[in-house]
Chain A
Amino acid sequence: MTINPQTNHTQSAASVEAINMTMKFGEFTALDNVGIKVKPGSFHALLGENGAGKSTLVKCIMGFYHATDGQVLVDNKEAQMDDPKDAQAIGLGMVYQHFTLVPSLTGAENLLISRVNAPNIINWSDENDDMTAFIDKMPFKVPLDVPVSRLSAGEKQKLEILKQLYLGSRFLILDEPTSVLTPAEADEVLSHVKKLTKDNKVSVLMITHKFKEVTKFADEVTVLRRGKFAGGGDVSTLTANDMAVMMMGSETPKVEFNRAPTADDNILKLSNVKAQDRSGLKHILIKDLKVRAGEILGVAGVSGNGQTELMEILTGQRPMTDGAITVQDHPFSGTREQSKKYQVRYLPEEPLQNACAARMSVAENLAFRIFDMQGDKKRFWKSDQDIKTFAHKMITEFNIKTVSTDSPISTLSGGNVQRAVLARELTGDVKLLVISNPCFGLDFSAVLAIRKRIIEARNNGVAVLLISEDLDEIMELSDRIVVMSEGSINYETEANSADITKIGHYMAGHS
């Protein structure tokens, strides 16, 4: 008779502490001397923007990464985790952002097969009795006899948590557990988790960037910013504003650019634009948004509040259910013809995936907007010669570093891919430029070069809509700032007179 993991369920919550964790990827320091302590039976939140080092920290704790420096203590004893199985063995479990359940298997089958010691021949009546006994001790129930694919997102998330407890985890890392849930489901799941910690069954470390969840459920919080410890403590002593400031920071000096005066004509207008969000459960509603020629409008917001959807609406990737978009007073739905006619250009986030054909050459990628044109006329045969000449011109003008015009664009560094896309999008007459997170993951010099280009375009009379999760970037580039929260715009201010605490307040969802 093998030992069932269920016997572990009488064990109580573990304490986990990471000391002086440093993680370097080559030159880049993802995590710089960060410490965190999760007390037994506590609900600890880990806050930070994208790229702040949250995932790196938990992956170091779980043994996915081997930290460059630092150590992990479990129940005050040093623990050596070489891979996630070691972590599992001493009771550390992780629930991923994306479900790891097997969709066509039932809940019970999923629980059973994830056990290391699953029996060769399964006696389902015994196993079902065991599982019922286990579920009865839990504060929430999930139907175990239907295929997981038929469960709702909330039920799946609960099943993921149950699975970890079933496997004997005494410390749980939840990676943005509510990102795929409706607000009601999120509330329910987290209050159950809270109950589990109160019963001292498990300690929880939850990665999030939603302040509401932190203030409502967490006991303690640690805030990371750009790989460093940015603050933390008892949640009861902190306000959402305090946390927003820790998370976004406001210490970077603003680089001043020369700005030409803004014209009065509105280039882009959105009125009552409505669309479904990614989860299909909530709506994006932009009541009124205007961008004038020679103006940069910054859209600030914590990621996941509808910015991606806004970008998709503007590029024609997401159908609107209501409302109208006009560009230069003509209706606009993002087709190639329209963007050519009204001179609309895009710079989406992660340009290698969203704005390039990764395996095609640099020259071909640069030619996406001109390969079928000969001056103003359409052409049938493409001319490799013209494409090459154009590419050489762009490469010198925008200072793109590439081995040759024929190398695949995926061989370029992130900054150079972004330069290439900018070169393509800013060439010719441009009236409107829609940008999303242009400097995400780029080094300092590339960031500066790209921001200069954006300002230059603005000074030439281009209307720029800048969607960014980096508040510093918004503050630095924008003439006017709006804040997006839960799918709509809840605050607008001139950049000159903007108050960063106030912006943080609205970003945190208050109004």
Chain B
Amino acid sequence: MSDVTDIGLWGVPLAIIGGAIRVSTPFLFVSLGECITERSGRINLGLEGTLIFGAMSGYAIAVNTQSPWLGVLGAAFFGMIFGLFHGWVCKFKGVNDIAIGIALMLLGNGLAFFFGKPYIQPVAPDLPAISFGWWSDIEQVRAALQVNVLFIIGLIIALFLAWGFKSTKIGLTVRVVGDSTDAARAIGLEPNKIRLLSTAAGGALAGIGGAYLSLYYPGSWNEGISSGQGLMAVALVIFARWNPINCFWVALLFGGAGALGPALQSVGISQGYYLFFAAPYVLTLGLLIATSSPNKAMESAPGELSITK
């Protein structure tokens, strides 16, 4: 530990930046997934359950195959199954997407704990990270700039989605369906099918977010692995105004807020420790209140979304 330089209070912003990058990845994946689903006019609150099941299945597959990437793929696959189920159930008349989401959240939790019991002990290989801090001699800087490959993939997906919503037929189709079922039918689209596929894609991304949790940070499987990231990501999408690029920035912001507590603790500020841990939740509440309006529907909100109707 001799090369640890004492950088004093500078450690706080540095730890926040590092934490933001580390903690934000699951937020990023879940919110991008939810962004696709919500743009098609449905809300999938079950992504919290999908995230946890993704964490478990990804970890289990990585343990068994010794390949973290196969774990990520497996998590995406199971996430997609959850998404398909949500999308399929929601096509029936009188079914509420929010209620189904909550049911799926609990189901995902329960199944993950059930199947995950034997995997609490074994150790799975970690996902690789890229060091962007090689130029620095300071250990803390290098630690902060260890960026996981999934984070970079997430950024690429965000850019790709932003482009896709604008410049691909599929992207436009999803937006049409999300904005007006009637208009979609008039053009000859099948809203239920498109929403099913969008929810499946959203579930797959949420599954990957889960795999990140168990395979990189914190990097092990246990029952307390998620602290509500899946649910907060839903709020995050609303705050990001259903824009994938905004999702990226907001995920970073939430990640940073989550890193606030540990960062302050590392420099010896331990008073109000639990309060700082609550920062992301306080931020969620604050942002939702600040960005809502009592008498106006949110602009740019997909018109068919049940919460903004």
A residues within 8 Å of B by Cβ?
85, 100-105, 109, 112-114, 116, 118-124, 149
Contact = CB atoms under 8 A, between A and B. Distances in A.
Interface stretch (B67-75, B178-186, B200-208, B210-218): B178-186
B300 A105 contact: no
Nearest to B184: A102
B183 A102 contact: yes
B233 interface: no
Interface of B: 166-170, 172-173, 175-176, 179-180, 182-184, 186-188, 299-300, 302-303
20 contacts: A102-B175, A102-B176, A102-B183, A103-B179, A104-B300, A104-B303, A105-B175, A105-B176, A113-B173, A113-B176, A114-B187, A116-B188, A119-B169, A120-B169, A121-B169, A122-B166, A122-B167, A122-B172, A123-B167, A124-B166
A113 B302 contact: no
Contacts, number: 51
Contacts of A116: 188
A122 B167 CA distance: 5
Contacts of A100: 182-183, 186
Contacts of A104: 175, 179, 300, 302-303
Contacts of B168: 120-122
B182 A113 contact: no
Contacts of B172: 105, 109, 112-113, 118, 122
B180 to A, nearest CB: 5
B169 A102 contact: no
Contacts of B169: 113, 118-122
B303 A103 contact: yes
Interface secondary structure of B, over-half rule: helix
Most buried by B among A112, A113, A116, A121: A113
Nearest to B178: A104
A2 to B, nearest CB: 12
A169 to B, nearest CB: 14
Contact of A124 (B167, B180, B184): B167
A123 B183 CA distance: 23
Contacts of A101: 183
A100 B184 CA distance: 9
Given A122-B166, A122-B168, 19 more contacts: A85-B188, A102-B175, A102-B180, A102-B183, A103-B180, A104-B175, A104-B179, A104-B300, A105-B175, A105-B179, A109-B175, A113-B173, A113-B176, A119-B169, A120-B169, A121-B167, A121-B168, A122-B167, A149-B299
A109 B183 CA distance: 13
B284 to A, nearest CB: 25
B110 to A, nearest CB: 36
A102 B186 CA distance: 11
Nearest to A150: B299
A118 B171 CA distance: 12
Contacts of A120: 168-170
A85 B188 CA distance: 9
Contacts of A119: 169
B124 to A, nearest CB: 38
B235 to A, nearest CB: 21
A505 B298 CA distance: 47
A102 B170 CA distance: 15
A149 B186 CA distance: 18
A213 to B, nearest CB: 25
A350 B176 CA distance: 32
A119 B182 CA distance: 22
Nearest to A96: B186
Contacts of B173: 113
A122 to B, nearest CB: 5
Contacts of B176: 102, 105, 113
A103 B187 CA distance: 14
A160 to B, nearest CB: 11
A105 B302 CA distance: 10
Contacts of B184: 102
A331 B181 CA distance: 45
